[in-house]
Amino acid sequence: MAQAAHVAFIGLGRMGQGMAGRYLDAGCSVALWNRSKAKAEQLIARGARFAASPADAAEGADAIVTMVADDEASTAVWLGEHGAATTAKPGAIAIECSTVSYQHALDLAAALRARGLVAIDSPVTGLPDAAARGKLTLLVGAEPADLDLARPYLAPLGSTIRHFGPVGAGTVYKLINNLMGAIQIAGLAEGLAIAEQAGLDMNLVLESIASGVTASPQVIKHAPRMVARDFANPTFTAALRHKDAAYALALAESLLPEMPVSRATVDAYGKAKAHAPDDDEGRIIEVVSRPKLSEA
């Protein structure tokens, strides 16, 4: 990718801010759009242009990258009245990094291709600090030739590219990944709630979990925060986890006859979303916690 490449970046949430900054680091000309301009101020100070709309951001861009919340937001920023696809030049690389539903990934790619764009899905794994350092893992769905065209615009985001197959395949794996994470976190919340109610030494419980066979990165990350009820600086909200799990369940139920564990997890996160949608996903423990058995 030439340093003079023009990139449009749409969606400046916790992940998007760091991702957009990587294109500035790479020497690109960057146009930004986000519903709230305040989230773009640091990037504007570094030389990015804040656009009036997704269409304004995409005009003349060599690549357009989106990182928004869900199917509805993705449809709006790409295909809405002032969507990026309305002004994107033929041959521009359209990269959907948002976690969307499988059917949306397919439908969006078809709509973008019909407008002459090169469309791939590339959801990511990694936390906001990894996004800012260009250390994300990219989960790609694309035709091989399209991936080759997109690689220069993926490189600033991360060097690990996992190509799962045609468009939509990257989204399939991302939904599996996030569903499994939701199951682990929900299971952890219930396990810790049981331990609390039974009166166990929670420091010993945490030590045992961290050194036991059930320790996963999700468990190790969330267990201390759940026990301390410390949900400051959330990296992923209950609403987003519920959304991803629901998208994953819809895909799963189209492929397999029964998914009871996944269904239960979606229901659990539905309650967490109702309780505190914008708080850290680990707050699900407050939904399942009850008074100690001795007080029942």
Enclosing H/E stretch for 30: strand 29-33
Tokens of 131: 């996004």
Name the nearest CA neighbour of 108 among 100, 9, 145: 100
Exactly one of 174, 243, 271, 273 is catalytic; name it.
174
Q: What whole-number distance in Å separates Cα of residue 109 and Cα of residue 118?
A: 8
Structure token digits, residue 63 = 């690549």
Task: Please give the Cα distance from 165 to 204 (Å, whole number).
Answer: 45
Kindly report each contact of residues 216-225 with a partner whose C-beta sits within 8 Å and lies 24 or more positions away, as own/partner: 216/184, 218/181, 218/184, 218/185, 218/188, 219/184, 219/185, 219/188, 222/185, 222/188, 222/281, 222/282, 223/188, 223/192, 225/280, 225/282
* Distance, CA of 190 to CA of 175 (rounded, Å): 23
The H-assigned helical ranges of the chain are 14-25, 41-45, 54-58, 71-79, 102-114, 128-133, 144-154, 169-197, 202-211, 217-228, 238-255, 260-275, 284-288
- Residue 264 tokens read as 């239960």
Phi, then psi, of 228 in degrees rounded to 5? -80, -10
**Is the distance from CB of 67 to CB of 37 less than 8 angstroms?**
no
Active site residue 221: no
Catalytic residue set: 174
